[in-house]
Amino acid sequence: MAATAGTLASPGTIAYLLKRVYSPREVENAVYKDNPLLALIPKATGFTGESHIHAVRYRDQLARNSDFASAQGTTTDGSRGVLGASKGVQFIVGRVKNYQIYTLETEAILAGRDDKGSLMRVLTTEVDSALNNIGRDTAKMLYGDGYGSLGQVVSTTSVTVVVGEAITNFENGMILQAAPTSSSTDLRDSTVKTMTIDSIDRAAGSFTVATAVITGLAAGDFLFISKDRGITATAEKNKIVGLEGWNPVTAPAALESFFGVDRSVDKTRLGGLRLDISSLNPEEGLITALALAAREGAAPGHFFSSFTDVKNIHLALGSKVETEFTQVGDIGFTSIRINGPKGDVRVMADQNAPAAVGRLLTLNTWEIKHLGELFNMLDMDGATLSRESSADRFEGRIAFYGNMVCYAPGKNMRLVLPS
């Protein structure tokens, strides 16, 4: 039965429209735009239980010898068990949470009472904005280490902070914290702790703050949205543990505990490959990196980096450039195709990728594991929208529950590119 004009303003009808307009497919289309890594990385539901446990084998059986008795021998290897046995570890990955709130003013709802198109515009404007924000945050964190850094300070004055190309990660009104390192337990300025962005100069890669920058803020400091990394000075991995966590800039240190694993026993197979190609031209650098990956048994099919870095590769290749279009649902991405020793590699620009860092990825070794949909339009009590008790509006909620896992870190590589 068609809805009558008088029913369009009811929260129940709006909830129905939300479910109809924002099906899982539509949510994917809303959040994947301009976020190729988020679009292409495999995703899986079923992240139930307290944590996700997955095993990575980093050594095959060694019980081989030209002498039968030696092959069959049970020589022990100290505390690590039988010498000939295969070896592996179990990563115990916990879920993280991310919440997005959107609101609909009662006046706007009532103004659309007799105009379904008007009501739909109000609805899609607010919900699209909310989905874009949580989707973009997720896409940024796929490149991070779990602590939620948005970028590093290049330079600072009393009210201005320069962050360079990372300026695309910042918005007017954001409340920021700072720390000398991404995982540091010491926040800058133990008294005030935060600063609020007042205006942004994107061409200059800088923003100004409402009063003054955080005391002690210095070049190289990491910036975070307040409380994303914890409400105290203790560093917490409240965000998705992304590429920088699984394949960090420095090789894993002895006795570290990354999801319960000491990756230093095989820094490459458990912590990924890393290579500095900043002294080479882009074409030479990629060929060198792909050769190293092939030597280690990896066959990466994608390379992700910033628009500036991909532009440099494009210019270096000149007339040899071959492009390809990749379709994901109703959204697509153009890539540069280059030939590697183990097949074609697609070079893709991602607005969320940090400058001067490249990622050679074997995508089928990665997965975003989550509960429910990737982004859940919360309605567990049957109400997609709830009336706010202290404001003349209705509130809706979107939530992510999950994390990112890698089943073969050694088949992926972090590259330092020319800056």
pLDDT tens digits along 42-66: 999 989 888 999 899 998 887 777 8
| β-pairing verdict for 273-276 and 413-416 | parallel
CB 406 within 8 A of CB 261: no
| The pLDDT of residue 80 | 45
Enter the tokens of residue 64. 């081989």
In tens, the pLDDT along 139-191 reads: 999 999 999 999 999 999 999 999 999 999 999 999 999 999 998 878 888 66
pLDDT over 70 at 14, yes or no: no
Overall size of the chain counted in residues:
419
pLDDT in tens, 122-148: 777 788 888 889 999 999 999 999 999
Looking at the DSSP bridge assignments, the partners of residue 43 are 368
Position 45 scores a pLDDT of 92
- Residue-wise pLDDT for 340-391, tens only, equals 899 999 999 999 999 999 999 999 999 999 999 899 988 777 677 788 888 8
pLDDT tier for residue 116 given thresholds of 50, 70 and 90: low
Percent of the chain with pLDDT over 70: 85
Strand partners, 223: 151, 178
pLDDT recorded at residue 63: 77
Calpha distance 28→22 (Å, rounded): 9
Q: What is the pLDDT of residue 29?
A: 66
Enter the pTM of the model.
0.88
pLDDT band at 84 (very low <50, low <70, confident <90, very high): low
User: Would you state the torsion angle of the CA atoms of residues 307, 311, 317, 320, taken in this order, to the nearest 10 degrees?
Assistant: 80
Q: Answer whether residue 77 shows pLDDT above 70.
A: no
Instruction: Answer yes or no: is pLDDT of 7 > 50.
Output: no
Average pLDDT over residues 411-418: 96
Structural domains in the chain, sorted by start: 19-47+94-143+376-404 (3.30.2400), 149-238+252-369+406-416 (no CATH)
